[in-house]
Chain A
């Protein structure tokens, strides 16, 4: 019995070591003065300095953050509207259809989303760049917000709304003072999911980004192919810490509100 426990610990340890090895590997060499990921010469912060003096890279980081924040904000609003719409549909059949259509973008491979959006934007005549990337990120984040908000809405008893209406609240007051506060955890979860989706996206952006505009993933992709500079490592380290902070924040918000991390499926 004791041996079983030991083996299981060993297995888990191995899995976690492999999961974190690449991340710590990148972080470790970001402090290497040697200039490559081969041998560690001595400790330096040179690469961090380089990140902050590389204006092009900084602009790209800024672009990525602006896209992520804007797209998750807008998609959260659209997602809430979508969830409200789906909830109010009475016929089961129409509801199912709406939900299936909603899920199409979640299960679609990124390549298909990217390719089809590229066709769409070219057809409309939209210039590829900031706006096309922003619109795509909004578009693929909406369904995940809907999926996060909808269960909370369904949890809400309709008597709450009836009571509010009885007591003289207007439709708008019911929405802002009763419904929205009730589904707040779902909204936050949706917003964070949209944020991470946007920050993590490479494939869709790669298709619709055009020439002049670039986000971090696309930039790393082109740099990684042309040989590597340790400033990318330094940047990864900074991003890792930022992401870890975001995730911990998300975890605590979730924990405070329902004591249990969301069970929603996380798509790639």
Chain B
């Protein structure tokens, strides 16, 4: 009796899994084995290991690393300070609120803010530095990306900090540790899981950003995401696009296995 009821629930759900989780991955792998003319070939993979694509991949990783690092550096103190405020849930909500606003609109705002006659240049003019080219630089790309990912970094760190029993901090201070030592030896290690979750939530999307590279970096930065988009929607070379996607899926799986294993240990 129970097993029949269970099967009933499983049917639509498994159908969803097969259709939208397994089939797409299989199809991507399948397409990566064909070239533009529809011939079965491994040439896409050979092409992927040429310097052009390798450089792009490394570039992509480097930018994703920088974005994750800056997000962490800015988000950790923010999360920490929010836990110290009176209405912390409200402040947290205010941090998350911008992430609920369409990404495109925010990118669009930055085009205005960073433009030649924008607010940022007006400010630079005012303090005597003079007008600079801000839009279409690495700086603007990283700044906007960090801006977009900050809430995703703050949230898990905030949760980790909230779970930290305050008695541990009192104990540490009582035993004579300075504020810095307490942070370094007690607070930070115990919130490492939140940090990891945050880095995971930022790094993978950062690796595959594509719209911001267009609008903010003006095609100067080509990430793996941009390359996939190019191959699928512009040059129509689905095979090559799929090959890059296969690579991204593998990286993702690797990250998931590494962090997933840790999470299981943390849960214990």
Contact = CB atoms under 8 A, between A and B. Distances in A.
Interface of A: 8, 11-12, 15-16, 18-23, 25-26, 29, 37-38, 78, 81-82, 84-86, 88-89, 98, 100-105, 107-113, 115-120, 123, 139-140, 142, 171, 196, 199-200, 202-203, 206-207, 216-217, 220-221, 224-225, 228, 232, 236, 239-240, 243-244, 246-247, 251, 255, 260-261, 263, 265-268
Nearest to A266: B155
A236 B205 CA distance: 24
B208 A109 contact: yes
Interface string B1-44: 01001100110111011011111110110010000000000000
A119 B238 contact: yes
B141 to A, nearest CB: 15
Given A107-B255, A200-B100, 13 more contacts: A11-B77, A12-B78, A23-B106, A100-B256, A101-B17, A111-B224, A119-B28, A221-B104, A224-B108, A228-B112, A232-B105, A236-B108, A243-B100
A119 B17 CA distance: 17
Contacts of B229: 111, 206-207
Contact of B21 (A37, A104, A206): A104
B201 A267 contact: yes
B5 A101 contact: no
Interface string B215-231: 10000000011001100
B211 interface: yes
B119 to A, nearest CB: 6
Listed from nearest, the 4 A-B pairs whose CB atoms lie closest are A116-B24, A22-B109, A109-B208, A85-B9
| Most chain B Cβ neighbours within 10 Å, of A115, A140, A239 | A115
Contact of B99 (A37, A38, A266): A266
Interface stretch (B87-95, B128-136, B184-192): B87-95
Interface in B95-154: 95-113, 115, 117-119, 147, 149-152
Contacts of A139: 16, 19-20
Nearest to A143: B21
B248 to A, nearest CB: 6
The secondary-structure label for the interface of chain B is helix
A139 B98 CA distance: 25
Contacts of B85: 12
Interface in B153-192: 155-156, 159
A89 B207 CA distance: 35
Given A15-B78, A118-B232, A84 B9 contact: yes
Contacts of B159: 263
Contact of B152 (A22, A85, A113, A266): A266
A19 B21 contact: no
B205 to A, nearest CB: 5
Contacts of B232: 115, 118, 207
B195 interface: no
B78 A225 contact: no
Contact of B24 (A109, A119, A263): A119
A15 to B, nearest CB: 5
B245 A115 contact: yes
| Most chain A Cβ neighbours within 10 Å, of B82, B109, B214 | B109
